[in-house]
Structures are given as C-alpha cells and as structure tokens.
Chains A and B, each alone.
Chain A
C-alpha cells in the first residue's frame, strides 16, 4: 500500500514536471519572439470569460512561475515523502498542481472575471497547503491569519475591478481612458492595498512570516518565490497598463517600497526562526521591486527614458531574481529543517560538514540575496542604484532630495541584508553543532538537491550574463558588463590557488585558539542573538528594544546575588498597535451582536439571504 501510494504520487509529480516544461517553453517562445498568444477557454456569459492572453509581460511571469515551480516539483519528489500521513501526502500532491495552475491562469487571464476567479482558487488552495500540519496550534493560527488577510486583499481587488467596470462597461483587461481622475485614484489605492496585502507590503505584511513558516517548505518556496510575484504582476498590469499612472502614484509606491525594504530586513535581523527570517527578506525584496516600479512612474513622468527603463527592467529583473534565489533559499532551508527537526537557528550549526551540498547551495542563495556581484541579486539591484543616481537630471530639487533619501535607505537595506545573511549562513552552517539533533543531521536525498541546484545555477547565469541578457531582450541600458569581471575574479583565484599548490605549502589541522581553554564547546560559540545584538541596539528606536537587569541580593552591601533576571524585549509594533486592536474591535463587535439574538442556523441563513438580495439589488442599480 505504501509503495503504491508513493508510486502514484511520483507519477503525478512527473506529469506535473512535463506540463510545466511545456508551459515554460511556450511562455519563453512568446517572450522572445514577441508574438502574443490568445485562446478562449470558456465563456460563462459574453461578459464573463475564461480566456488566455499572453503578451510579453504575461509571458515573462508565466515563464518565471514555470521555472520556479518546475524546480519546486523536483524538490517535492523526495520532500513530500517525509513526515505527514499517507492521506496528507496525497492531498499535498493533489493541491500542488491546482495551486501552480491557478497562479499561471491568473497571469494568463485576459478578463477580470477570470483573473479574480483564479486569484481566489490560488488563495484557497494555498490556504489548504498552509494548513498541511493542521494539528499544530501554531499552524491553525497562521492559517486563519492568512485566510483573513487574503480575503482582505480580494475585497480591495473587487472594489478596484468594479470601479473599472462601472466606467468602461467591460471586464476585459485593457487600456481604459474613460475613468475620471478621482475614480482612477481610488481604483489605484484599492489596487495597492489589494495587491500589496498579497505581496506583503508593510503594513499589510503580518501574515507572511506566519504563513511561510507554518507551510511545508516546498509550499513556502512557491508562495514566497511565485505567489508574491503574481501580486506584483497584478500591480504592473492594472496600475501601469489598464490605468495610466500619475506622478503621485510613483511617490506612493516609492514610500511603500522603501518602508517595506528597510523594515523587512531590520525585522529579519532579529528573527531566529530560519523560515520566518526568509519570509521577512521576502518583504524586503518585494519592497525593492515596488521601489523600482515607483521610480519608473516618477522618471517616466519627467521624461527621463533611460532612468525609467532602468527602474522598470530592474524591478522586473529583480522579480525574476528574487523568485529564483528565494525559492532556492526556502528549499535548502526546508532541507535543513528536515535534517535537524527544528527551525530555530540557535540549535543548528556545523551543518556544512554534515550537509556540504546543501550548504553550498544555501551559500549561493545567500550571496545572491545579499546582492554580491557577480550573482543575479546584484545584477538587478545595480539597475535600481543606477536609476537613483540618474536622478540628477530631474531638475527638480525637491524630487531629487527625496530620491537621495531613498538612495540612502536603499543602501542601508542592502548592507543590512548582507549582515543578516552572514548571520544566517554562519550560525546555521558553520562552527560546531549547537544541539544534538544538528550533530546527527545527514545530507538530504538527490531530488532535494537537484531542484535547488538548478536554481543556484540560474542565479549564477542570470548574474554573470545579466548585461548580455538585458541586451538580448532589447534594452540598451547603462549597466556594467559582469562577464569580464567574473572571468578576472576566477583567474585571480586560480592564480593564487595555483601558486600555493606549486609551493607545496604544508597544511595541518589543530584546535581553534581559545586563550588556553581546555576544550572548546559549542556553548562558547557566538550565537545568532549575540551576532545581531549590536544592530538591534543601534536600531533600538525601531525595535523598541528594552533591556532590563533585575537583581536581588542577600545582603545590604549588594555583594551576594540571590536572583538575577536579565531580559531583552522588543516590541512588535504592527502586531500590537495595528493588527491586535483591530482584531479585538471586531471580536467585541461580534460578541455584542451575538448577544442580541438567538444563535440558531436559520437566523444565519436569513442574514446571508438578506445580504445577497441587498447585494444583487445594489449591483443591479449601480452597474
């Protein structure tokens, strides 16, 4: 029974792989040839259609989804077989293609009805996937949180789409001129909130760390790598294509992006749950992408075509790059979590010797996300930098100064990201194992290495050949050619390594120097908390760090300590000041209403009925 279950899951996953390969190839052909692909699937009414339209933007996102999902399915071949019940694994295998397909269909849809339909399928299937380990209290909390936030997002999308429909009279996704100024602005804000919630823009981000850490790692990889990008696609499509952007939108996007990028990485620094740490970095990277989109609007308005192109291509290139390295990081983190049985990085350590391949793959991902040249993370961030530095041509001192502040924040974010990944890689993989479980970890199986390995290779290729790729798709932008730099780097490394080989330098191993201690133990190593402590102290205004050190003494001279309690507490601003008060308000409201009537099923059905009738009447009158 067990083997047949495994075989059927394998077959299902292999079918998925071949399907994804076809979809990715088609999308790539569409993207590079520039020919659009149209297909009508099913017409519910003449207005409400399920149809596919792949233009270059949609094809780009489809290819991105296809590539990441492909690697993720390879990873799942082995990953799914660990943990969970037989039934649970079947459900996971069944929901996975539904989730992937719904994301592709959202991107490919050419009708707002189809877009929303698949958007909802995407939300609901991902909700069930997050709830995979549903017996854990933590997962239940994360799942409900995610569900509420995802419906919140859909609500605002509904508002935006209905506003557009009200003035254009069609559900087709296309350029609309008919919208009055005020309505356009309202629609834009609704889109930012709707898509921003799904993408994890601060302050709508709080579901992200919970849901990503509760979900199985292959699902976290898909959610962070791909689902957030679907929201970015929506923002690009509707804000820039359907509605024509205005100048102030650029500043709104720039502000949201900068706040998300900086706060995302600052929160990541103090996080010691490996998957939550990565989730906060997703917020940061979504921030970078939105900064790029915002810059595009601003530069486009002032007619600086090169800078506008730089920021738009930079934003989209970063979307692809983030999808690649973040899913790589989530998958390798999943392998680590599976091997050690914990998500707390303080209990890991020394894994570089137990899981060498995973370590190298994670290192490549870390370098890419820290924007180290010549990898892909840098290739896209430099475009944003170049766009920022191009702002001296604006001839508008106020805007230029805003840009300079944005630039400083961007540099801060980038430097903090590097610090965070030195911590993540250093504490998880280096030195001695910090717990018994970490000491017993073993390397994961081939499938769980092959999936991330493809992505790691993609990271290198997209970085080293970034200049050629950007040129290849038809943009001539002032970005440095990374190929000669990479060749020289390799050359110098080889020369020095060769020199040392040539002289036969004797090598031996010994103990770490510890000022004469007898034996070094893991307790003496630097911890993740210790590592990030200086940064937490410097940014204490943001963390609201409070340090307390209470001591009680036996004697009046305070020399013999009875009891000591030292605490470092940080304040979760968004959770304690925004989310919980709102949630509490609704809980109280609900409690108040439920007191006022008898709670039987009939009453609720009546409520639902009355609501639907009211909705239909208003919709009929208004639309």
Chain B
C-alpha cells in the first residue's frame, strides 16, 4: 500500500461516514414533503445517531455473541466495501481493492450477519425479518450480478475504479448499451436499501417486516452502528450508479483542487438522485411479498438484454 492509496482510503472512508446520514434524512424529507408534511430537519439522522451513541445497550436474555458482534461486522464489511467505490478521486490500481465480485460479496457478508442477529433473540419479528431478507436476497443477487456482469462486459473489466476511469476517459456515448444499465441498478438500489415498494424503512410492522424487523432488538450504540451501516450501504450503491453513468468531475489524481471538485460534484449528483429516490418512493405502494420476483425480473431482463445487445453489437 502506497501513500496515495492510504490517503485515498482515509479520505473516501471519512467522506462516506460523514455524508451517508445526510442522504438518509434528505430522502425522508422529500417523502414528507410529497405527503404534505414539513418533515424532520436535514440533520436529524446525525442527531439521532449522536443520541443513540449516548444511550445504554440492552441485550435480550436469549441473545448470544452474534447479536454483540454483528453491528461491528456490518459496519466493517460495508466500510471496506465503500473503499471499492471511489468518490474522492480514482486511485491507482491496488490488488485486492476494486474487484466487483468481492464488493458484492462484502455486502452479502453484512447481510448474512444481520440476518443471523435477527434470529438471535428468538423473537418472531426478527425471524420473519431474516427469513424475508434472505428470500429477497436470493432472488435479487442473481439480478445484481447480472447488472454487474453487464457493466463488466461493456467496459471489459471487473475492477470498479477502472470502470469509472474508462467511462470518465471516454464518453458514455461510446458505450450506448450502458444506457440500459441504470434502470436495473436503480431497482437494485431500491431493493438493497429496503425501500417501498419492497420494504418500508419507516416501520417494522407486519406488511414490511424486513430490514427494520431484523434490527429490532439492537439498541444504543449498536443500533447506531446498524443505522450508520444502512446509510453507508445506500450511499455506496448510489455512488456506483452515479459514477458509472455520470462520472464527470471526478479527479484521477490526488490534488487538493481535484478532490474538492469531485466531492462537490458528487454531492450535487447524490442530492439529485436522493430526491429522485424520495419522489419514486412516494409514488409507489408496497408490492405484495410474493409478487416481488416479478419486480426483480424487470431488472434481470434489462441486464440480460444489455449483455445480449453488447455481445451482438
């Protein structure tokens, strides 16, 4: 690891940690406004995390070490995954970082432990959440992989920073098939961040009992870690979508001006995407659980079509 890489790691991680909660509140705000409410302040998620960090931790009598370690594992896996998605600048090649399959599987890891912690307390809520989460996961993962394979086939690389670099160097018009990818990536983003129409991030009640039900037994700083890792996951998936499609403004080397411009331009793009997500969520109703595969199939076939077009062109 050279200094450039260390600088990148520190900056990128710090940016992800600081910026992720803002997007969570922004989407909430947009949804509230769509519903005609004023909504919470934009910094609410930060306040909430801060408050949770000051509270005590309550574990269930039934729970084991899984409950205790899973928040750490969750945030660790997602933070490492966030290093795979360059935001501040595109670092030089480093073996071990940037492989798209490894990136996806780091997120699978986080999900695996979250689902286990859902079963740990022996509550029906958690069990139902884990069961549904793993069901959704098992049908969305082939879809995600298909979308990533489509990108890899078009850009002829499996390394994420290289992908961003390729699109940045050329123009997206060189890769017309790439225009089909965002819609599947957007569906994946909605599913992975547990949003309507798949799940509802506001509640853990019966119809939506997925993500929120799994973390129901977490409390205090541990819950804060879970909330924070949720924010990170959302941010890095948004960043993947944004930087594949609109990487303009991103710096390719570590100059202060370049980094500032990439951060500023990313923030603008991310805010726009967050507004789109909030509006999208407001216009949809929850889909029945067993109808979800149909929804995922749209993303699957779009990715599949992308690959077929790419192969035939």
Contact code string B66-96 (vs A, CB < 8 Å = 1, else 0): 1001011101110110010000000000111
Q: Smallest CB-CB separation from B66: which chain A residue?
A: A430
A411: interface (CB < 8 Å): yes
Q: Which residues of B contact A505 (CB under 8 A)?
A: 56-57, 220-221
State A432–B126 Cα separation when bound (angstroms). 14
Stretch touching chain B among A240-248, A280-288, A510-518, A596-604? A510-518
A538 CB to closest chain B CB (Å) equals 6
Stretch touching chain A among B97-105, B235-243, B261-269? B97-105
B90 CB to closest chain A CB (Å) equals 17
Q: Which residues of B contact A386 (CB under 8 A)?
A: 101, 158
Residue contact A484 to B97, C-beta cutoff 8 Å: yes
Contact code string A514-534 (vs B, CB < 8 Å = 1, else 0): 100000101011100011111
Residue contact B119 to A426, C-beta cutoff 8 Å: yes
A255: interface (CB < 8 Å): no
Contact code string A408-419 (vs B, CB < 8 Å = 1, else 0): 110110111011
B254: interface (CB < 8 Å): no
> Could you say which of B61, B135, B137, B308 has the most chain A C-beta atoms within 10 Å of its C-beta?
B135
Stretch touching chain B among A130-138, A164-172, A231-239, A365-373? A365-373
Residue contact A430 to B138, C-beta cutoff 8 Å: no
Residue contact B217 to A513, C-beta cutoff 8 Å: yes
B149: interface (CB < 8 Å): yes
Stretch touching chain A among B39-47, B140-148, B167-175, B185-193? B140-148
Given contacts A404-B304, A408-B145, A511-B61, contact A430 B139 (CB under 8 A): no
State A564–B121 Cα separation when bound (angstroms). 32
B256: interface (CB < 8 Å): no
Q: Smallest CB-CB separation from B64: which chain A residue?
A: A352
Contact of B145 among A407, A485, A531 (CB under 8 A): A407
Contact of A352 among B65, B111, B135 (CB under 8 A): B65
A123 CB to closest chain B CB (Å) equals 36
Residue contact B131 to A412, C-beta cutoff 8 Å: no
Residue contact A512 to B112, C-beta cutoff 8 Å: no
B106: interface (CB < 8 Å): yes
State A427–B137 Cα separation when bound (angstroms). 19
Residue contact A510 to B105, C-beta cutoff 8 Å: no
State A538–B126 Cα separation when bound (angstroms). 21
B11: interface (CB < 8 Å): no
Residue contact B312 to A535, C-beta cutoff 8 Å: no
Q: Smallest CB-CB separation from A415: which chain B residue?
A: B141
B305 CB to closest chain A CB (Å) equals 11
State A445–B136 Cα separation when bound (angstroms). 40
> Could you say which of B115, B122, B146, B290 has the most chain A C-beta atoms within 10 Å of its C-beta?
B122
State A535–B292 Cα separation when bound (angstroms). 12
Residue contact A535 to B138, C-beta cutoff 8 Å: yes
Residue contact A412 to B141, C-beta cutoff 8 Å: yes
State A478–B9 Cα separation when bound (angstroms). 22
B234: interface (CB < 8 Å): no
Given contacts A489-B77, A533-B131, contact A412 B138 (CB under 8 A): yes
Residue contact A412 to B142, C-beta cutoff 8 Å: yes
Q: Which residues of A contact B76 (CB under 8 A)?
A: 489, 492-493, 496
A545: interface (CB < 8 Å): no
Residue contact A353 to B64, C-beta cutoff 8 Å: yes
Residue contact A481 to B61, C-beta cutoff 8 Å: no
Contact code string A123-162 (vs B, CB < 8 Å = 1, else 0): 0000000000000000000000000000000000000000
Given contacts A389-B149, A407-B149, A431-B121, contact A416 B57 (CB under 8 A): no
B311: interface (CB < 8 Å): yes
Contact residues, B8-48 vs A (CB, 8 A): 9
Q: Which residues of B contact A388 (CB under 8 A)?
A: 149
Q: Which residues of A contact B60 (CB under 8 A)?
A: 509-513
Q: Smallest CB-CB separation from A416: which chain B residue?
A: B138
State A488–B109 Cα separation when bound (angstroms). 15
B128: interface (CB < 8 Å): yes
A378: interface (CB < 8 Å): yes
Q: Smallest CB-CB separation from A525: which chain B residue?
A: B122
Residue contact A382 to B72, C-beta cutoff 8 Å: no
B281: interface (CB < 8 Å): no
B15 CB to closest chain A CB (Å) equals 16
A537: interface (CB < 8 Å): yes
B303 CB to closest chain A CB (Å) equals 9
Contact residues, B271-309 vs A (CB, 8 A): 289-290, 293, 300, 304, 307-308
Please name 6 further chain A to chain B contacts, defined as beta carbons within 8 Å, in addition to the given A525-B123, A526-B124, A534-B131, sorted by A numbering: A414-B141, A422-B112, A430-B122, A467-B96, A480-B99, A485-B106
Query: What are the 4 tightest A-B residue pairs by CB atom distance, in nearest-first order?
Result: A526-B127, A431-B122, A426-B119, A481-B96
Could you name 13 residue pairs across A and B whose Cβ atoms are closer than 8 Å?
A: A404-B308, A415-B141, A431-B119, A481-B96, A484-B1, A496-B225, A508-B59, A510-B61, A512-B62, A514-B124, A520-B122, A530-B128, A534-B290
